Structure 1
Amino acid sequence: MWKVSQCISMVLLAGLSITDIHSRRIPVIVLISGNLAALCYQIYIAKEDVFVLAGGIGVGLLFLLVSRVTREGMGYGDSWTILILGIYLGLWKLLEVLLAAFLFLGIAAIICLSLKKISREYKLPFIPFLAAGYLFSILTGGMNG
């Protein structure tokens, strides 16, 4: 059974996916709001272990650093969304979502390149794959508990 927080998160990730696909930009106010909501969720509802929470935040900060070093090879909005998910999910659940997301991204890239729909320089929007990874984790039971 889906939890209310999972439904809300899935709707938000779907909305961010649509925005990422169409405009390739995520509004900063949405990201700030997401950060605040995830922090409030952790403080008042989830109360995740501090080390697991710190690990999730660390992964998000690592992705922000990658965005900075690669001059947005991976966009700041994508990395900031990973940070929000890290605060919301903690380390282990975030890594599960990222594993699925990168797997789906790799499959999509291989298919698009094979069909010559995109060039090697094309940048696929990543948030839709995060949403798919999150959904996959929920449906396979990885988000229980």
Structure 2
Amino acid sequence: MWEFIVRVLLGLFLMVVAIKDLISKKISLWIVILCIILLSICIPFCKALTLLDRILGISLGLGVLILSKITEGKIGMGDGLVLSVTGMGLGFWSNLELFALALAFAALFSMFLLVFRLAGRKNSIPFLPFMFISYLFLCIPVWSEII
């Protein structure tokens, strides 16, 4: 049951930050902090993942934060923060899967924009909506197990 609560919490979190990213291309730090607090309450009751797996999941987001600093903001700091939060709830491998799928969806969307000349190479797109879509896509098998 607690794993399900964590999954729903992450889904709601990703939905909120994706909408915020679409509208303002920024996310609020208080949303991230609130989700960290709520996850911290739920995680002790979850037995599916080890503490090491959760720490490694967070490290994936920290790696993106470092890349954001190196690229001087071409990769958003918010993307790294959100990836750290999802890593806390999903663990390393599921978080890596989420990130890779989101990158693939973003790449396909970018190619579409480039091919039809709707955007140029210098244009930026919000990444968090692709993380939310990827999360929904990855949760479909989980829903069938619950029902």
Deviations 1:12-54 (A, max 9, x none): 2112111101101101111111222222222333562122112
- 1:35 maps to which residue? 36
Task: Map 1:95-114 onto structure 2 (within 5 A).
Answer: 95-114=96-115
The answer as to whether partners of 1:41 and 1:88 remain within 8 angstroms in 2 is: no
Percent identity between matched residues is 23
Residues 64 and 79, structure 1, Cα contact 8 Å, conserved in 2: yes
1:122 paired with 2:114, answer no
Is the CA contact 1:39–1:88 (under 8 Å) kept in the aligned structure 2?
A: no
1:80-91 correspondence to structure 2 within 5 Å? 80-91=81-92
Count of residues in correspondence between the two structures = 143
Structure 2: any 5+ residue segments left out of the alignment?
none
Quick one: distance in 1 between partners of 2:7 and 2:58?
19
Q: Which amino acid aligns with 2:137?
A: F
2:17 corresponds in structure 1 to 16
CA distance in 2, matches of 1:140, 1:124: 28
CA contact (8 A) 1:53 1:90 kept: yes
2:94 is aligned to: 93
What is the CA deviation profile of residues 42-78 of structure 1, one whole-angstrom value per residue up to 9, with x for unaligned ones? Answer: 2333562122112101111111111111111111111
TM-score normalised to structure 1 length: 0.88
